[in-house]
Amino acid sequence: MSQRTCKQIPEWKLGPVTIYPSLKWGTTYSFEQITQFANQLAKKIQLPENVSINVFPVNSYCSEVNGQWNVSFGIVQRTETNTITYMYMIRRDTDLDADIGGTYACPFFNYEYCYEKHSHTSLSQKKEFLTLVETTLQNIMGAATKITHFHT
């Protein structure tokens, strides 16, 4: 049997969407489970007063992330002059290869969703929110491995 060779990439591009690696669990959770994790996160996370979380229903954020392979959500920060939504997803990869399959937590953004008064960007742009989200997710899902690339 030949050994599979995986290519490593620092980010994953789907049209205008860029997804960044951050956390990985070795278990490939079902879509129902990752939806439950996102909803638990929304209930448990302790955000500042002007900040909220929006878990997007399936197939409702943008066509590039449609499907039951991910749950997208945004940490929404409102100021007097604008609103910024910091995007993140929990995604699953069902590839049976142990280096690829599993569940991932990933900051991402769609560069087409940058508007004057309401801009969307990657959660990695707001480190204190990123830490809060990832700590809360690990409290819900269990410890994860920090990753800096994806295998393809």
Per-residue b/e over 60-85, b at no fewer than 16 CB within 10 Å?
ebbebbeeeebbbbbbbbeeeeeebb
Instruction: Compute the distance between CA of residue 134 and CA of residue 147 in angstroms, rounded to an integer.
Output: 13
Mean pLDDT, rounded, for 37-50: 96
Q: What are the residue boundaries of the structural domains of the chain, listed by start?
A: 12-146
Instruction: Compute the distance between CA of residue 95 and CA of residue 106 in angstroms, rounded to an integer.
Output: 18
Whether the Cβ atoms of residue 105 and residue 90 lie closer than 8 Å to each other: yes
Task: Please give the class, per CATH, of domain 12-146.
Answer: alpha beta
Mean pLDDT in the chain? Answer: 91
Q: Sorting pLDDT into bands at 50, 70 and 90, what band is 101?
A: confident
Q: What is the pLDDT of residues 120-151, one digit of tens each?
A: 999 999 999 999 999 999 999 999 999 999 87
Which pTM was predicted? 0.91
